Structures are given as structure tokens and as C-alpha cells.
Amino acid sequence: MSAYTLEQWQNVLSASPSSSSSASTLYNTLYVGESPYGLYAMNTLVDQHTITYSPKLLGPPLLEGPSPIALTPDERKKYVPPKRPIVSAENIPSITHKTLEGEFLVLGYHEPPPMAVSPIFPARFPSFQFPTQSITWKQSDNDNPKQLPAIGGPSAHSDQEPSLSAMIYHIYLLYPIQFYSVVISLILLLATTIWMCGRQSAAASLAQQPPSAQTSRHSSGSRTWAFTRTDLVPEGWMNVGKLQYNPSEVLGRGCEGTVVYRGKFDGREVAVKRVVSEFVRFVDREADLLRESDAHPHVIRYFCMEADSQFRYLALELCIATLNDYVEEERVREKVQISKVELLRQATEGLAHLHSIQIVHRDMKPQNVLISAANQKGMVRAVISDFGLCKRIQPGRHSLSRGIASGLAGTDGWIAPEAHVSESTSYPVDIFSMGCIFYFVLTDGKHPFGPPISRQANIIAGEYTMQNIASHADATIIESLIKQMIDADPRKRPTASSILLHPFFWDAKKRLHFLGDCSNRVEKDEDNSSVVRRLEKNGRTIVRNGWREHICDKLKEDLRKFRTYKNHSVRDLLRAMRNKRAHYRELPQDLRDSLGHEAEDFLHYFTSRFPALLMHVYWAMEWCSNEPEFKQYYSDEVRERIKDEVLKDEAERKEKEINMTSQQWVRGKVTSSPATQRKPGGDAAQSTVEDIKEETENAKKS
């Protein structure tokens, strides 16, 4: 493009027309200048004689918006402005800056751009101009041209900004519906804020009142406000509803972030179990099961549950130690005056109670058997705790869902083998774990399945050892019980109620009483009776090939005074024990000293010499478990199991008698037989063939 000359440039700038007017007006312009520190721009007021630049078609390119695409050549000439010419910097001395592309900046007074909105905007966005004010000259009556300017009427050239109220009013006129929506939203927000502040104020005032003694399932779910006075919370403690706990005093930790703290509830010391709210379903189930089962003295007591935004808190009975602490720490055993057998008995009672209400614990281990604080009499209790994995067996079912479907529950080293092979699990899984606990307690921390690193693998393989039990005084009794409890076949494990009736939990007096009842029961039985046969089975092993060789000489001499005893008979050994116990006062003093003066000493005299005697007799006398005098020694499970064996043996005996009688009738001989002996008033020598035939037919019918 060709550059403009100086004369052409002055014509392009088109100064405002110089016309004299009686009323002079000052116009708003933009002055662009240059100082030693750089360029600057400022608003100025000039009169109509001042030359202002208006290079509308010159200077840097402006944003022109999208190019029209559907215009004819005539329309394009009409609506599309032509290319702006480029001015040569040599011709205009006021040009102070020029780019390589020919863009330039002119110093001096410039007309401000108009405030009108470009017509390319859609019609739904109307152009809006705020009212402005201009400064005009007012001449006085004496036509004084030097009168100061005064603020005049509206003018499009004023840059004074409108007030806020004018803007709001204008928005209301343009968008009334949106305006009302915003106003209503602001009013609702303000009302909600005021209500929340009032609620917090009411809560703060109620916090000054004494705490309520009413319990609740959890504070967030109930609308009965229960606050604890802040001045009653010890320093460093946390308060949640009716619960307080000390975060720095941790009593124990569990899986999935579970922590147990020392705390308080309703003025009493409790253990506060904190569980992550993500496991709310398990926490609610645990609380429900605790409420149903904590009436038993050997199940941990439950008080209440509270909650906040992150955790659930269970208030439980505060205990002083776990069974694991009792076994591994001497100081705990010195502090707790209770025997190992009594602890195991109480723990088994608690487990039997859970099973009686169809609850399977699924995580029995020494850490979950707690020792309570001493009561007013100084007595402590063993209680079952941690119901997080407990499940209830639904009515009409006998087991839980299969292991893999419901997840492997429990702790490695204490999990029953059937839980690993996806078999249905039930109460026997707790019995297996309890058997391991028995061994752990009685051997001072040993485990029947070996060290922890290989323990669970040995459980699955069924490899265990009982060598650590051998040194115990009741080794045979303990071994027989634990072997049943940890049997790989869950169907062969005893129930918790059967374990409580096992001789392991009997004291010396009850054991002696049982042996005496057994002796009385078999005293008059025939040698070939079922119960005597069971009693004498493997009898030589029980009496160690002759019990007379293992008793003291004083007892041998005393036994020879009254009657003859069979040296290899278990029944005769029981008879000797019964007679000497019954006539203890009549024995010589030296023999009484040898046998012992207490029941424990008397029993130990025989069980130390014949360690397998008690369990052998207990197994043999299961045959009589349905008889009234033996019901106190056996459980319903044993009676149900032995019932089929008794009926089967009775049927075999009757069939044998029938066969013997039939053979005698065929030969035409009348000899003594069990059937003819039992006939009232009958004598084998006087029996007739018709009587034998009639009895045979009756026996077949029965």
C-alpha cells in the first residue's frame, strides 16, 4: 500500500469542525502521552477547538467478530469494512511506536470509543447504557465567557458510573423472574443460617444441665438430646453422647482400625470399643447380638452405643486382662485368684449359652476371653467378648453359609479346618477353637498344632501333638477331651454342653461318687452282659496286667481278709475302691495314712497307679446314660448317640437267644437257656417243648 502524505494524514484525522457557538461544551477525551518512564493515558476534558484523533480506519487491527459466510458481493461491500490503510511513520511525527507489520501508536488527544454495542449481538441481549453526565458551560447574563463549568444534563460522553440501586432496578426491569428467584433463594439461605445458629445456641445451653441417665442405641439416631457437662469431662478425654473415653489409654486393638479405650458411661468405668463407621452393618449386628446374650454371667456385658460422623462407639464391661495375658504374664496370675480349670469352665459356659441361642462366635481365641474386674466378694469371671464376627444360625437351618461365600472368619492358628475347604460351618468351629484354647491354657502357652508360622497348615493337615500334656496330673483325661474337640471331623466333636459334663471338670468327690455308682451298677450283672463286656474290654491294659501288683502291701493284706478279687478285672478294682471308701473309718490307721485322709488323696492313690481308669469307666458306662442315676454324668447328646447302640445290641441279643432256643427245640432236648431262666416260676428241668415253642414265637414277635 502507498503511504499518506502529511497533508493527506491531517485530512484523515478529521478534526472537529471549528464553529463558534455561544455555548461552549467540554468533551471527554483520552490523552496518550509519553514520559521518561514510559507511555501513559489519562482522561481529559477539551473544548470543541481541540483537535482529537479519530483514526477509525487506521491503527492496529481490531476484533471484528466472525466473518459473514453467506453474503453476496454487494452485501459484502456494504457491511464489511474495507482494509485499513497503513500510515508511514516518516509522515506523522506524532507516531511514537511502530511495529514490523506497520502498526503504530499516535500521541495526543483521542476520541473515546463509543459505548454502543455492536449490532452483531443477538437481539435477546439488548444494548444497555447507563445514564451519564456531561460538563457544560453556562454563560451568565453578562455573557462572561470565563464562567466556571457546571454539571449539566445527560450526555453520552460522561464516564461517571451509575449507583448500585440503579443497576439492581435495571436488572429487575429486564429479568423479573430471575430477579425474584435470586431474592427468594437469599431469603431462604438467611433463614436457614439463623435457624442453625439458634439450634447451636440451644445445644450449648442444654450442655450446662446435668447429664441424663437414659440410655440409647446411638445418639445420632435418637432425638432425645443427651449431653454431658463439659466441666465433668477429664482433661484429655473425648466426649461422645453419654460416653467419655481417654484416647491415650488404649486397652486393645483389633482388625480394620478397631480400637478399645478406657472410658466412662453413666458414672461407671467401661471399655469403649471404637469401630469405623464403614462397618456400620457389622457394628449394629454386634450390638444386637450383645443385647440378646449379655444376660449370661460369662458373656461380656453391653451398655449402649453412640456414634459420630466417623466412628461407632460400643460401651462394654471393663475387664482387667485377657486369657492370653493370664497365661503369659505372671503378674496377672498373681493378681487374679482363679484356677485354670475354673477359667476354662466359665468360658465354656459362656460359649454354651451362645450356642443355645443359635449364635456362632467364629473367632474364639485367648485374646477374646476376658477376665472381669473383681466384684465385692473379690471374685472374677471369664467372659466371652468380641462379637464382631458372630453370626446367627437361621431357624430351620443347622449351619451357616459356606466358608468362601461368607468369607473366612477367625484368626490364623485358631480356625477350624472345615472353614478352609468351603464346607458349611456351624457350632463345631467354636468347639475346635476352644480345644486349642484348652491346650494353650493347660500347657502355659503351647499350641497343639505347633508354632505360629506353620500352625494353620498343620490344622488343615490334621497334624497335632499332645506331648506337652503328658506331665499334667490328669493327662489322660485332658488328652481324651482335647482330642475330641480338635477332631478333623466336625461331626465327632462334642457340644459345649457335653464338654461341661466331662470328667475334666469334676472335682475329686464327684469322680469318686461316679466310680462308686458304676461299681454298684455292675455288681450283680452277669459276666456276659453288655455293660460288663464294655467295662472289661481292654481291661488288662487298664489294670496294667494285674492291679494287685500295683497297690501297697497294706491294702493287699486288708483285701484278703474279706473276699476274693480278680486280679485282671476292672469291675473288681472298682469294687475294692468302693468298699474301702465306704468303710474308710474301719480301716487300720496305717492303711488310712497310705490311702490319704481327703477325697483328693484317696482318688490320687488309684488314678496315679491306673491313669486310664476313670476315662475307661466313663466311656463304658455311657451304656447306662439313660438310667436315672447316671443322667447327671452324661449329656443329652451322649444319650442320643448311645441309644442306637443299645437298641442294636438288644436286638442282636434277642436274635441270639431265639437261635439258641430254636436249636434246642429241633433236637427235642430241654436244657437251661437264658429264655427259660427268665420265665417266671419256670425251671429248665420242668419246661416242655410247647413252652419253648410258645416263648420262641413271642420272642420273634417282639
Greatest alpha-carbon pair distance for the chain in Å reads 177
Pairing of strands 104-106, 95-98: antiparallel
Q: Which of 91, 98, 95 is nearest to 106 (CA)?
A: 95
Q: Which residue has the cell 439416631?
A: 221
Burial per residue of 390-428, b for 16 or more beta-carbon CB atoms within 10 angstroms, e otherwise: bbebeeeeebbeebeeeeebbbebbbbbbbeeeeebbbb
- Which amino acid belongs to residue 428? P
Question: How far is 398 from 394, CA to CA, in rounded Å?
Answer: 8
C-alpha cell recorded at residue 531: 455293660
Question: How far is 429 from 529, CA to CA, in rounded Å?
Answer: 38
Q: Across 85-160, where does the E strand assignment appear?
A: 95-98, 104-106, 108-110, 133-136, 150-154
Report the sign of the C-alpha dihedral through residues 357, 358, 363, 366, in that order.
positive
Question: How far is 610 from 547, CA to CA, in rounded Å?
Answer: 8
Name 358's bridge partners. none
C-alpha cell recorded at residue 605: 492313690
Name 252's bridge partners. 260
3-state helix vs strand vs coil in the chain, percent to 5: 45, 15, 40
Q: Which residue has the cell 484348652?
A: 438
Q: Which residue has the cell 417266671?
A: 680
C-alpha cell recorded at residue 201: 445456641
DSSP state of 367: G
- Concatenating the DSSP letter of every residue in 564-599 gives ---TT-HHHHHHHHHHHHHTGGGS-HHHHHHH-SSH
Count the neighbouring beta carbons within 10 Å of the beta carbon of residue 6: 12
Q: Which of 215, 261, 253, 254 is nearest to 237 (CA)?
A: 261
In the annotation, is 141 catalytic?
Answer: no
CA distances from 659 to 671, 693, 697, 701 (A): 14, 12, 12, 14
Residue in 325, 363, 430, 487 annotated catalytic: 363
- Is residue 620 classed exposed, middle or buried when 0-12, 13-18 and 19+ CB atoms within 10 A define those classes? buried
Helix axes 475-485, 428-442, angle to 10 degrees: 150
Dihedral of CA atoms 319, 324, 330, 331 in degrees, nearest 10, equals -20
Question: How far is 28 from 109, CA to CA, in rounded Å?
Answer: 10
Count the neighbouring beta carbons within 10 Å of the beta carbon of residue 162: 13
The backbone torsions φ and ψ at residue 455, rounded to the nearest 5 degrees and listed phi first, read -65, -50
Helices (H) and strands (E) in the chain, counts: 24, 18
Give the residue numbers marked as catalytic.
363
